[in-house]
Structure 1
Amino acid sequence: MERKSYSAGAVKMSFWFMEFRKVVSLLAEGKSLDEIKELNKEQNIFGAPTTLRSEQIYSTVAGRVRTLDESFCSVFLESDVASQKLFALVAAMAYDTLFFDFVYEVVREKMIIGSNSFADSDIRIFFKDKQLQDEKVAKWTDATLNRLGRCYKTMLFEAGLTDKGKDERKILKPILDPVMQRWLEDHDMEACVSALIGVR
């Protein structure tokens, strides 16, 4: 899995599961991402409130889809909704290295030590560490970091990985579908498997 430079772009993003599913379905019907982009321009296929938002959704969802080998489409479409949400989460993690690191370093670690929940203080510690490690992150404001933390919590909740606790989020350890797990392992995404199920 390719590591990209850290980005705070997630503050403008959402989990966009239904939109992700729509793009995968259109790809499975034989459309290319470029054709889906045109279709979105003409028909606002995501039902976005503005053209700008519509383009933003397409750009992010297409970026996430591109991080996965196209052979995932058939596995995704044959999976149940819980597995599809985990696939969408894996794509979001592969697309955004900082988000991946959060899931890997905070959520996975909590599962490993058996403490199955994380608090806002864990999120703050994570960002503080990243600010020491990375000049780019060091320049981000507290407001940006707070928004990023909220976004990460929302994505994990919508993917079914946590509950919606106020100050502390309970981690709902998923049971990976064996077909999905094998696909991830066959495509050099073992780190995502470890992050999701909490293993070393």
Structure 2
Amino acid sequence: MKRKEYSAGMVKLSFWFSEFRKVIQLLNNGKTLPELKKMNLEENIFSAPTKARAIQIFNTVSTRVKCLDHSFFILFEQSDILNQKIIALAAVMESDSLFFDFVYEVYREKLIIGVDELADSDFGIFFKNKQLQSEKVAKWTDYTLKRLGNCYKTMLMEAGVLERATGTRKILKPILDKTLEDCLKANGMEITLNALTGVR
């Protein structure tokens, strides 16, 4: 993956799975992203409450979509909803380096050692480590880090790899279709595959 600078921008974003699915379907039907951008402004294709939100959703979803090879678009429509959500999650990981690191360094490690829950303290430890590694993250407030942690939990829950519960959250190891595994490998995304399946 192409590493991007760490960002706390995800606090304003959602998983936006149905919007992601809509964009993939329209691209598979021959539309282009510039055409979708225009449609979004003229027709409010995501039923967003405001124009600003519509633009934000399109910009975020199109950034995620652009992180994936076209082979994922065809596979997406052939996959069941669980694997579709994993493709959407992989796109989020590819577009946000800090979130990718969380999945790789914390979620994957839990799967490897056989611990099936994420505790609030796991998020705190992760962000503390990142503050030591990155001057940029070191400047973020506790409030920002708490919001970011909550956002990560929501992303993982909506992707179906973390159970919705209070307190500690149970990890649900995803079962990936062989075709999705092959597609990730063919596109040089083994590290993403390992992060999601708990492989060293």
> After TM superposition, is the score higher than 0.5?
yes
d(CA) in 1 for partners of 2:196, 2:177: 12
- Within a 5 Å distance, the mapping from 1:108-123 to structure 2 comes to 108-123=108-123
d(CA) in 1 for partners of 2:8, 2:152: 11
- Offset at residue 175 of structure 1 (A): 0.8
d(CA) in 1 for partners of 2:102, 2:176: 20
Which amino acid is 2:150 matched to? R
- Within a 5 Å distance, the mapping from 1:28-67 to structure 2 comes to 28-67=28-67
2:101 aligned residue: 101
- Within a 5 Å distance, the mapping from 1:15-34 to structure 2 comes to 15-34=15-34
**1:74 equivalenced with 2:74 (yes/no):** yes
1:183 aligned residue: 183
d(CA) in 1 for partners of 2:169, 2:102: 14
d(CA) in 1 for partners of 2:195, 2:166: 23
- Offset at residue 104 of structure 1 (A): 0.6
d(CA) in 2 for partners of 1:53, 1:141: 25
d(CA) in 2 for partners of 1:140, 1:70: 36
Which amino acid is 2:120 matched to? D
**1:3 equivalenced with 2:24 (yes/no):** no
**Aligned-residue identity in percent:** 60
Q: How many residues align?
A: 200
SS in structure 2 at match of 1:131: helix
> RMSD of aligned C-alpha atoms?
0.6
d(CA) in 1 for partners of 2:27, 2:111: 35
1:153-193 deviations in whole A, cap 9, x for unaligned?
Answer: 00100000010122211100011100011000000110110
2:136 aligned residue: 136
Structure 1 residue runs without a partner (length 5+)? none
- Offset at residue 125 of structure 1 (A): 0.4
